């Protein structure tokens, strides 16, 4: 009877180890108990010319994530309305962690949180703060802004595609 008990205990221990390993390798935004606010549904707003066109009316204080399929890589752009009412844009990848493949952001309250290093970045700093562990800004000269839309050209997006080469979202 003692031998059977040891086999059962060993089996239970093995299952616990498998579960622990499985949950430790999942990206943080996919772990049930991580507590991160899920990303806004990824939106697709591609023009006939291949430019990304974001409707201004859709941008709120909650980050919106816009998908863009590059020639070789899936890309994502963040658009958010800052507390001063300005609309900010950035690539959804961290300036420091992008090469890890996990250097992307999810929103938690008024913060964007890097899923690689955990750096928290305030929504009002999107596009304003450059360098360090922050979303890569898309500045005014890299987009066309009108009263109704923000257009980021296919050419500019193609030039930036390499920063998403290891992306694992």
Q: What is the pLDDT along the chain (169 residues), one digit of tens a residue?
A: 566 656 655 544 444 444 443 334 344 443 333 334 444 445 667 788 889 999 999 999 999 999 898 888 889 999 999 999 999 999 998 888 888 888 889 999 989 999 999 989 899 999 998 878 889 999 999 999 999 999 999 999 999 988 888 877 6
Phi-psi region at 35: left, alpha or beta (left = phi > 0; alpha = psi -120 to 50): left
Instruction: List 108's β-bridge partners, or say none.
Output: 111
Q: Are both 23 and 54 inside the same structural domain?
A: no
- Residue 86 within a domain: yes
- Reported as a single tens digit per residue, the pLDDT across 110-135 is 899 999 999 898 999 999 988 788 89
Which contiguous run of DSSP H or E holds residue 12? helix 2-25
Q: Are both 94 and 119 inside the same structural domain?
A: yes
Q: Are both 85 and 20 inside the same structural domain?
A: no
Q: Are both 26 and 51 inside the same structural domain?
A: no
Q: Residue 5: exposed, middle, or buried by beta-carbon count in 10 A (0-12, 13-18, 19+)? A: exposed
Tell me the C-alpha distance between 10 and 76, whole Å.
45
Predicted local distance difference test score (pLDDT) of residue 101:
83
Residues 6+ apart with CB under 8 A from 19: none
Q: Are both 26 and 58 inside the same structural domain?
A: no
Q: Are both 7 and 50 inside the same structural domain?
A: no
- Reported as a single tens digit per residue, the pLDDT across 129-154 is 887 888 999 999 999 999 999 999 99
Q: Are both 47 and 30 inside the same structural domain?
A: no
- Residue 169 within a domain: no
Query: Smallest Cα–Cα separation from 39: which of 70, 73, 62, 69?
Result: 62
Where in the sequence is the domain holding 23, given as residue range(s)? 1-34
Q: Are both 14 and 54 inside the same structural domain?
A: no
Counting the structural domains of the chain, the total is 2
């Amino acid at each position: 009877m003692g031998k059977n008990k040891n086999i059962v205990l060993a089996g239970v221990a093995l299952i616990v180890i498998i579960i622990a390993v499985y949950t430790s390798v999942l990206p943080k935004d996919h772990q049930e108990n991580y507590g991160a606010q899920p990303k806004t549904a990824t939106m697709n707003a591609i023009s006939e010319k291949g430019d990304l066109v974001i409707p201004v009316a859709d941008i709120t204080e909650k980050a919106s994530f816009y998908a863009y399929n590059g020639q070789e890589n899936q890309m994502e752009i963040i658009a958010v309305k800052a507390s001063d009412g300005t609309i900010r844009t950035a690539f959804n990848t961290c300036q420091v962690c992008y090469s890890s493949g996990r250097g992307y952001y999810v929103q938690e309250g008024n913060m964007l949180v890097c899923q690689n290093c955990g750096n928290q970045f305030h929504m009002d700093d999107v596009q304003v703060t450059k360098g360090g562990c922050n979303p890569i800004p898309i500045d005014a000269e890299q987009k066309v802004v009108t009263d109704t839309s923000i257009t980021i050209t296919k050419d500019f997006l193609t030039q930036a595609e390499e920063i998403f080469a290891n992306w694992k979202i």
